[in-house]
Amino acid sequence: MSTDVTHQQTHSNRVSPPLPRSWWLATLTAIGFLLHAGLVHAGTWQWVDHRLMWWLHGWASPGLDRFFHGVSAIGHERGVIPLDVLLLVLLSIRRRWRQALFVLVATAGSGVLNWLVKMLFARERPQLWPALTDAHNASFPSGHAMGSFTLMLVLLILAWPSRWRYPLLLSASGFIVLVGLSRLYLGVHWPSDIVAGWLLAASWVFAISACTARQQGGELCRRTDIS
């Protein structure tokens, strides 16, 4: 019986967490999103949405206006999207094709999925006060919340085998919360839109992670000769 140990599972091309855990996380967050969407449709979130929006609006000031305008821009066109592209380019330059494919499908697919779900639900944006920024498409789920959560979760999954996972987890959590708050403060999203974006992003990224890990596992099995 000979075993060809081409079986090396290098950290450089591994997408974590492991397959079964990724599928479970994808399933649980997808169920969470569907339950949440049902509650939103039934109007259960309405009281919470309004109370949280008015509470946050009570803190309004010119300084916070500028701060949250900046956070909102970093959470999309001036931060998240350029970082998506940069991460993909860096992984491609280093020939980490598995991880590059994971990043491409996770980030680009998240944007497409957000657009499709917005069209499906067609929820109107808040009109409690004049919005501090332009927003013309549907409200549910938040694209900023979904895009920032997608990128942070992708980075966390890629960094999970390393010692950087816990510092990244802490900083990523703070970032996605600030991006979500910025959209509420600017008056263009309900809190339930933000939660929906987080849940849908988590389900999507974990599912793509699971598919990538499954494909890699199949290749490792084919490269192992046991006779």
pLDDT for residue 150: 98
| Range with the poorest average pLDDT among 108-122, 139-153, 160-174 | 160-174
pLDDT for residue 224: 30
| Range with the poorest average pLDDT among 44-58, 94-108, 116-130, 156-170 | 156-170
CA–CA distance, 37 with 197 (Å, rounded to integer): 11
* Six token digits for residue 188: 């263009």
The tokens 């332009």 sit on which residue?
134
- pLDDT value at 7 more than 50: no
Mean pLDDT of 185-197: 97
**Residues with Cβ within 8 Å of residue 160, at least 6 apart in sequence:** 16, 17
pLDDT above 90 as % of the chain: 76
Q: Is-contact 143 197, C-beta < 8 A?
A: yes
pLDDT for residue 121: 94
- pLDDT value at 16 more than 70: no
Other Cβ atoms within 10 Å of 43 Cβ, number? 9
pLDDT above 70 as % of the chain: 85
Per residue in 74-88, pLDDT tens? Answer: 999 999 999 999 999
59 or 162, higher pLDDT: 59
CA–CA distance, 43 with 40 (Å, rounded to integer): 5
- pLDDT value at 219 more than 60: no
- pLDDT value at 217 more than 80: no
Q: Is-contact 192 32, C-beta < 8 A?
A: no
Positive or negative, the Cα torsion across 170, 94, 200, 115?
positive
pLDDT for residue 20: 60
CA–CA distance, 131 with 125 (Å, rounded to integer): 10
Inter-axis angle of helices 143-159 and 165-185, to 10 degrees? 180
| pTM (predicted TM-score) | 0.85
pLDDT for residue 225: 35
Considering the chain, what is the average pLDDT of its residues?
Answer: 87
